[in-house]
Amino acid sequence: MKLLSWLTIVSAFVLFDLFGYSKSFATFSPPDNYLIACGSSQNVTFQGRTFVPDLQHSSLTLKSVTSVVAVSNSSFPSPIYQSARIFSKVASYKFQIQQEGRHWIRLYFYPVPNSGQNLTSASITAVTDDFVLLNNFTFKNYKGSYLFKEYAVNVTSDSLTLSFIPSNNSVTFVNAIEVVSIPDGIFPDQAFSVNPRAPFSGLSELAFETVYRLNMGGPLITAQNDTLGRTWENDAKYLHVNSSAVTVTANPALINYPASVTPETAPNWVYATAKAMGNANVANMNFNITWVFSVNRNFSYFVRVHFCDIVSKALNNLVFNLYINDNSALDSFDLSSFTNALNVPYYRDFVSNSSLESNTLTVSVGPDMEADITNATMNGLEIIKISNEAKSLDGLSSVESLLPESLSKKSKIGIIIGSVAGAVAAFALSVFCYCCLVVRKSKTTHQGHPWLPLPLYGNSQTMTKVSTASQKSGTASFISLASSNLGRFFSFQEILDATNKFDENLLLGVGGFGRVYKGTLEDGTKVAVKRGNPRSEQGLAEFRTEIEMLSKLRHRHLVSLIGYCDERSEMILVYEYMANGPLRSHLYGTDLPPLSWKQRLEICIGAARGLHYLHTGAAQSIIHRDVKTTNILLDENFVAKVADFGLSKTGPALDQTHVSTAVKGSFGYLDPEYFRRQQLTEKSDVYSFGVVLMEVLCTRPALNPVLPREQVNIAEWAMTWQKKGMLDHIMDPNLVGKVNPASLKKFGETAEKCLAEHGVDRPSMGDVLWNLEYALQLEETSSALMEPEDNSTNHIPGIPLTPLEPFDNSVSIIDGGHSGTDDDAEDAATSAVFSQLVNPRGR
């Protein structure tokens, strides 16, 4: 059926391309239309357009000390990449601009073989007069064979200079360039920011880079079939849950453009296909269709969502919600009320950042709870990176820092004026700071640095201060946290001293809550200092939750909170320092030595102990809700500790089976049952931990959208191999031949049970811990061990029942009546169990 459906779509697209689409062509003739084949000696036809050699274009000037031409006889990957111009010094192309305004700048790169230069290692930096487009890119660690980049830059003069800068004594190169006018109105000056919810103005002064452009439910649309030369790809590989969506198609000729939307906004083939809610095999149909994208967390993104109701049979039947990350973008959105007809295109623009503590951006649509018909739809999606304060789309370097000699006379005058003004301002600021210091000293002469405990269970003694502005936004900041026995209050000055005024050289990482720095206290104690963003509502919620949770948790395998600071509207948490950082950094993405199989097992066991304590160690269970490899930290001895409790939630009461709550967490680790039903249980942590286990084994991210569709999600991919009994085929190559097969088998069985579709089929964290300890025992014994029997997951024959039995064979007994833990007792229990496994042949 799927094949037939796709054949129908493709056939329709071909007919549409031949007979129907030409109506929308030629509606816009760009005043500037440079299609340049760099280094070529003849015209090149690519996607229905003709590219002219760079030395034969009359309105184009190439400024270069030296350049070399490279030509490949191979047709791979396409004709546009068969030639390149190579520069050993800074070079530039100067384009004469007929009409000011936004222009596409499209760059093509392919390291042409047999060029006489090692272009794979060449460093590529590309800048315009004002913006950095690409900074120090090389193909060395790039997974693709060629690179295509699309930018939208506002040109405000009669020329545009595009410069290419080599670095590190390397060369740089480019295969082809497009500089093409964009119609007025395609990109607005203002969009709606989803966090905080407010208008975002000034977009016309910023540069854009296209990151994703999707045709929901439809085939690939190339530049040949788009009036503005854009490419639209199919959305399938970005869907979080395949079964959550079905493809809907309509006749493109029926798409009726209103005055506010044109074919330049998006081709009518985009509006003629859509994704709508499918059969996710759940009782509650109030689930969301979600797409997940990898982005750079240090940038903001312009998000355009395209809608066209080709689903409904009548008006006002389609009411749904739109979410970007965890933020509501459109509530109870009735598409008909804006289009007044079916088959009418409509779009909305937003500005957003990446999701909390991850390099992902998610877009979801879901039904309105009060709607008569349960459905939601989307036709197209564009995600575009916005330049940062350095006017860069790649890093923090500005054009001036990369091309200091390019400063114009005007910019030099500006610098002089700015320097004088800055000096005056600095002098005034110094006087003001001196006065403030005198006043402060007079007030604090008799005050020291008090030790204040953190609140226990968030009791009523916690005092808060709410400003007028905070009341309006629903936020508050702590000024005093008083309770019984935990935590130290740090003054802001102490934090500054510990982190050398937040020295960037001490930066350990960046998350959604804020930045984390390495610090050293007065007594020499190493700490990790997490500095939150006081303007973030989510940051405040994490700040509260982190303190409330860690105030009642102490365990060898949980990161300890040392203290906090809430002076000057700051939200700062001080933790014990974990010398070896997050688990993920030891798996991939760094040059750290690979972990042995035994080390990996011990780390997983430590994390499982921490989670088991969360689930069973307090009067009411605690669900972490964000278990992932970046939240498992390692100390100097590689002891694993679970960290980051900002999203944690108190578990269900004894008379409840779950906690109903909005979905939060990290995509790739999210329990699909929780995602669909918004019903949270301890088994949600178990699923996330199962993803961690596979990440530890395979050393690749939980989600990798650049891989083939079947490999994007590590849980799905790994389970395919696990069910074949061939998990060793996808394990870390560093482990091949170094793992006891019986240990690997037990590990795979454990992960498979954790990743069960339904929570009721998953083991408890106690069971997971028991099985991981068993896998470690198998690894530590001789290679002559018998493989574990199929029924060994829940009980090993021959071992007498012990007091562990009421906890489902868990190796850790924790009294729920108090918040303390007895690690010695836990370790003793573990030893008692495994003392009977020394000779497994006796089973």
Residue 317: is it exposed, middle or buried by C-beta count within 10 angstroms (0-12/13-18/19+)? middle
Q: At what angle do helices 682-698 and 597-616 cross, to 10 degrees?
A: 170
CA–CA dist 583, 608 (Å, integer): 14
Identity of the residue numbered 513: F
| Residue 569 and residue 533 in contact, taking contact as beta carbons nearer than 8 Å | no
* Contacts by residues 184-187 (CB-CB < 8 Å, ≥ 24 positions apart): 184/101, 186/102, 186/228, 186/264, 186/265, 187/102, 187/152, 187/302
Residue from 531, 630, 523 nearest 578 by CA: 630
CA–CA dist 401, 392 (Å, integer): 11
CA–CA dist 490, 520 (Å, integer): 13
Is 313 within any annotated ligand binding site? no
CA–centroid distance for 16 within its chain: 37
The token pair at 451 is 């030790």
Cis, bond preceding 77 (omega within 30 deg of 0):
yes
CA–CA dist 325, 347 (Å, integer): 19
Identity of the residue numbered 677: R
Q: What is the DSSP string of 459-493?
A: -TT-EEE--HHHHHHT--EEEE---SSB-EE--HH
Residue 599: is it exposed, middle or buried by C-beta count within 10 angstroms (0-12/13-18/19+)? middle
List C-alpha distances in Å: 725 to 11, 721, 728, 743, 747: 40, 6, 8, 13, 12
CA–CA dist 750, 767 (Å, integer): 9
Q: Pairing state of beta strands 561-565 and 488-489?
A: parallel
Residue from 738, 501, 765, 538 nearest 651 by CA: 765
Residue 129 known to be catalytic: no
Dmax (CA) for the chain in angstroms is 90
List C-alpha distances in Å: 543 to 245, 260, 531, 547, 780: 36, 44, 10, 6, 42
Q: Which residues contact 546 (CB under 8 A, 6 or more apart)?
A: 561, 573, 644, 645, 646
Q: Pick the catalytic residue from 626, 671, 732, 767.
A: 626
CA–CA dist 550, 569 (Å, integer): 21
> Which residues form the catalytic set?
626
Return binding residues: 530
Return binding residues for ATP: 530
